Each structure stands twice: as C-alpha cells, then as structure tokens.
Structure 1
Amino acid sequence: MNLLDLIIPPAFAAADGINSDPSGLSQLILPGLLLLVMYVLLIRPQQKRAKDHKALLAALKKGDEVVTNGGVVAKVMSVDESFATLEIADGVVIKAQKQGINQKLPKGSVKI
C-alpha cells in the first residue's frame, strides 16, 4: 500500500464537498481555542505580575527593606516619583529607579 493511496481519496472527497462544513465555523474553532489558551497561560499571568509590581512600588515607604533586580538588599531611605534612595551598608547610600526594585522583604531581614 502506498502513502498516496491514503492521502489522495480523502483530498478528492473534500474537493467534491463531501464532509465539508459550508459555514467554515470548524475552521475558526481551533484558532479561537489557541488564542484562548495563549491568553490564559501567557498574557493573563503577566498582567497579574505587572499589577502586583505596580502595587508594590506604590506602597513603598521609608524603612521598607527591599531587593533590587540586581540582587542588592537595601533599606529604603526615601521615595519620590520615580527614584528611591536606598541604604545598602552603613553610610553607603545609592539612588535607584523604583522600577528596579524587585521585591519587599519582611522587617528585620536587612542587618545594616
């Protein structure tokens, strides 16, 4: 038996209109399901993380202990619109963008 014997008869049957959906709805179901799965698995979790990060930055205040994207552990000294002043050691103060702050640590985590 040849592989073409399995492929060609169904192709001719589809060309004749046998077993074909005249509305084309079945052709839209698979791409629609694919878009739904992409939204649920990729887009929605990313939106949730972005919302949580924005809330973290909005609630940032003096005395909070944070970790930056670079892994620097620091205590927040002051916060303005887009920058935060961070103390990373005794007498060592840096100014970093608020977007660079990755997470907030529990009180007492930083020993400065």
Structure 2
Amino acid sequence: MSQWGTLIPLILMFVVFYFFLIRPQQKRQKERTSMLNSLKKGDKVITIGGIHGKIVELTEDRVTLKVSENTRLVFERSAVNSVVSEDEPSSEENK
C-alpha cells in the first residue's frame, strides 16, 4: 500500500505537466506548422526578426519578401513569425 502512496504524487505531477506544459506546446506547434503551410503569394507577414513584408515568391523552403519598392529579401520559410491580417494597419498605410 505504501508503494501507491509514493507513486500517486508522481503520477499527478506528470498529469499536471502534461496539461499545463506539453499539450499547449504541441497545440502551438501544430498551429505554427499549419500557418507556414498555408502561406501564399500576396500575404503580408512579419519575420522572427521583426521585418514586415509582402510575399512575392514562395518555394517549399524559402520565402521572398518585398519590403520596399526596390528591396526584396529571401528568408527560410521557418523565419516567418506571423501573417498580418488585413484588418491591422501596416507600416506602409500609416505613412
């Protein structure tokens, strides 16, 4: 009976870790993968470095962003942090 007394706190601790740490992280990773797979030309994005741009070319592993009239930058697809929705004003519209 004392064996169960020592195992129950360990099991409860694992359950707490799973629901508060592991499961939310897996959900965020799945959402990020889905977002990266759904990128398309014309999307306005923000990179992990904070660069805002519009996708002008897209391959399986690279993204080319137009950041100004004459400037295009090439990034790994995984460097895209988020897609800017059309509801949010971009830096170009504020000028």
Matched with 2:92 is 111
Write out per-residue CA displacement over residues 31-77 of structure 1, whole angstroms, 9 at most, x where no aligned residue.
00001111111111111111000000110000000000000011011
Matched with 2:10 is 31
| Structure 1, unaligned runs of 5 or more | 1-20
1:49 corresponds to which of 28, 31, 36: 28
Deviation at 1:91, TM superposition (A): 1.2
Deviation at 1:79, TM superposition (A): 1.1
Give the root-mean-square deviation of aligned CA atoms.
1.5
2:39 corresponds to which of 48, 60, 73: 60
- Match of 1:33, SS state, is helix
Summarize the Cα distance change of 1:62–1:56 in structure 2 as closer, same or farther, 3 Å threshold.
Answer: same
> Greater CA radius of gyration, 1 or 2?
1
TM normalised by structure 2 equals 0.89
- In percent, how many aligned pairs have the same letter? 33
